[in-house]
Amino acid sequence: MPELPEVETIARELREGSEKRGSSVLGRTIVGALIRWPRHLARLTPQAFRRRILGQRIQGVRRRGKFLLCDLTRGTLLVHLGMSGDLRVSLPGEAADPHDHTRFLFEDGSELRFNDTRKFGRVYLVASPEEVIGRLGPEPLAPRFTAEKLGAMLAARRRQLKPLLLDQSFLAGVGNIYADEALHRARLHPLRRSDTLSLREVSRLYRGIRDALRRGVRLNGASIDWVYRGGGMQAEFRVYDREGQPCPRCGALIQKMLVGQRGTHFCPQCQRLK
């Protein structure tokens, strides 16, 4: 599933334009919408959605957690990419992919296409984005998110670290990949209880989260399965998807276990359970 670095990359490339995602969407006016998978739409019928989106101008593109937000003339279009979603701007007259299930039509014949092979993505059109994202936790790369803030959040809960980091109401944007990478950087076991961390361990976790995410953003995210391509973070994974390979820090073989039904990778030497 695309996480913070992947969604941040998509938002940036839709704002600025790129070879992979086509020209910028900023300033474009939406003149129609094709909904081939109505379940993409949250809250609105296809008919109501088309009426409300018609004539809207895209004024900004940004990210909050794992959500992509397009600021419109009236309201906000939010897209959650689900497990397999991606967005790109097509050329005028370009044939659609069979998995381009939701398409936003522009005046010049180009389209913003939401490609979603597994069909788990969701599209929201709301007056205020807080209707959808109001309960998300803090942004881990925001300047106001400090080690002290993280420490207080961890101490207030009695949960295992890995499931807690995946909880979007606790911290927005971190998913399975970057949680594993952050915990390895912090030398903390995924099953360690959040309220048992020392100040030094909290500091390590804070740096681990931010370092993993920042590296992912710099490398345009990680190429995931057949869906999200163009990122380079997968070449720098320390533990994720490296079961049976040596730990880059100590050489012990990386192990994999299930935590909350999620595959979790860790080093048994560097990340001992205390």
Q: Is 262 an active-site residue?
A: yes
- Calpha distance 79→102 (Å, rounded): 11
Burial class (CB in 10 A: 0-12, 13-18, 19+), 143: exposed
How many DSSP H helices and E strands does the chain contain?
A: 7, 10
Among candidate residues 45, 17, 21, the one with its CA nearest the CA of residue 33: 45
Report yes or no: 81 and 55 within 8 Å, Cβ to Cβ.
no
Report yes or no: 21 and 87 within 8 Å, Cβ to Cβ.
yes
Q: Is 148 an active-site residue?
A: no
Other C-beta atoms within 10 Å of 243: how many?
Answer: 14
Measured between its terminal Cα atoms, the distance across the chain in Å is 30
Q: Is 2 an active-site residue?
A: yes
Show the DSSP H helices in the chain as ranges. 4-16, 46-53, 130-133, 147-155, 161-166, 176-186, 199-218
Q: Which of 2, 129, 140, 163 is catalytic?
A: 2
Which regions of 58-175 does DSSP assign to beta strands (E)? 58-64, 67-72, 76-80, 85-90, 100-106, 111-116, 122-126
Q: Which two tokens stand for residue 62?
A: 């940004």
Q: Which of 62, 119, 210, 262 is catalytic?
A: 262
Among candidate residues 191, 197, 87, 93, the one with its CA nearest the CA of residue 153: 197
Q: Is 158 an active-site residue?
A: no
Q: Which of 63, 66, 192, 238 is catalytic?
A: 66
- Calpha distance 27→103 (Å, rounded): 17
Residues with a catalytic annotation lie at 2-3, 66, 262
